[in-house]
């Protein structure tokens, strides 16, 4: 009798577990494949740290004109490879370092929006994993530059791209930065 009382819980629990596993699997696959996504066709793309070969391919396939590097880490081999590949392909490389562990002040978010608006398109935005800082910059672009919907802007900071806005666990600071900035664009 005791088993029957809790039997109704089996399906909801399994469904929640399956949804969590599928979400994590998708995020993991995205990370392993460079987390490259087309946000606005012909205008905005996002990714994790691209290799030189990635930059060559993105240049040929999507005509990337500008790369926006959001990484604030020490610029070592990855940066030289990126800068050389960008130069070989005639791509402008812009550095706008953002910490993924601190909120982005509103005035810096406004400066980032202007920088992205003025950058030659198509634009590729990246950080190390293409989830947190890239998600914030993509949300700002969609909302402030492209004048897209609030839902589509907020989707840029979602588990689909590997961003988990959980206080104390994920990079919640990026979500809080967006939450603060979105007021300035009327959302």
Q: Are the CB atoms for 113 and 140 separated by under 8 Å? A: yes
For residue 138, being part of any structural domain is answered with: yes
For residue 63, being part of any structural domain is answered with: yes
For residue 1, being part of any structural domain is answered with: no
* pLDDT score at 30: 45
For residue 4, being part of any structural domain is answered with: no
* pLDDT score at 169: 66
Residue 125: strand pairing partners: 46, 68
* pLDDT score at 122: 99
Predicted model pTM: 0.82
Boundaries of domain holding 168: 34-185
For residue 12, being part of any structural domain is answered with: no
* pLDDT score at 11: 55
* pLDDT score at 64: 99
For residue 29, being part of any structural domain is answered with: no
For residue 66, give the CATH number of its domain.
Answer: 3.90.190.10
Task: Measure the CA–CA gap between 93 and 86, rounded to whole angstroms.
Answer: 7
Torsion angle of alpha carbons 68, 146, 174, 54, nearest 10°? -30
| pLDDT less than 50: residues of the chain | 14-32
Task: Measure the CA–CA gap between 5 and 59, rounded to whole angstroms.
Answer: 60
Residue 93: strand pairing partners: 67
* pLDDT score at 171: 80
Instruction: Count up the domains in the chain and report the number.
Output: 1
For residue 111, being part of any structural domain is answered with: yes
* pLDDT score at 72: 84
Query: Both tokens of residue 140?
Result: 């700002």
For residue 25, being part of any structural domain is answered with: no
């Amino acid at each position: 009798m005791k088993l029957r009382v809790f039997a109704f819980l089996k399906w909801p629990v399994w469904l929640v577990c399956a949804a969590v596993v599928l979400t994590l699997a998708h995020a993991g696959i995205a990370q392993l494949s460079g987390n490259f996504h087309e946000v606005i066709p012909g205008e905005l793309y996002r990714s994790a740290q691209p290799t030189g070969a990635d930059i060559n391919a993105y240049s040929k396939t999507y005509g990337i004109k500008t790369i926006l590097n959001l990484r604030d880490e020490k610029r070592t081999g990855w940066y030289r490879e990126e800068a050389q590949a960008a130069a070989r392909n005639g791509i402008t490389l812009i550095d706008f370092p953002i910490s993924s562990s601190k909120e982005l002040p509103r005035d810096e978010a406004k400066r980032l929006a202007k920088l992205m608006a003025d950058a030659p398109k198509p634009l590729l935005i990246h950080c190390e994993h293409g989830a947190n800082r890239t998600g914030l910059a993509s949300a700002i672009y969609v909302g402030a530059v492209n004048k897209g919907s609030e839902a589509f802007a907020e989707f840029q900071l979602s588990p689909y791209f590997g961003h988990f806005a959980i206080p104390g666990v994920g990079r919640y600071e990026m979500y809080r930065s967006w939450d603060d900035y979105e007021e300035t664009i009327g959302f």
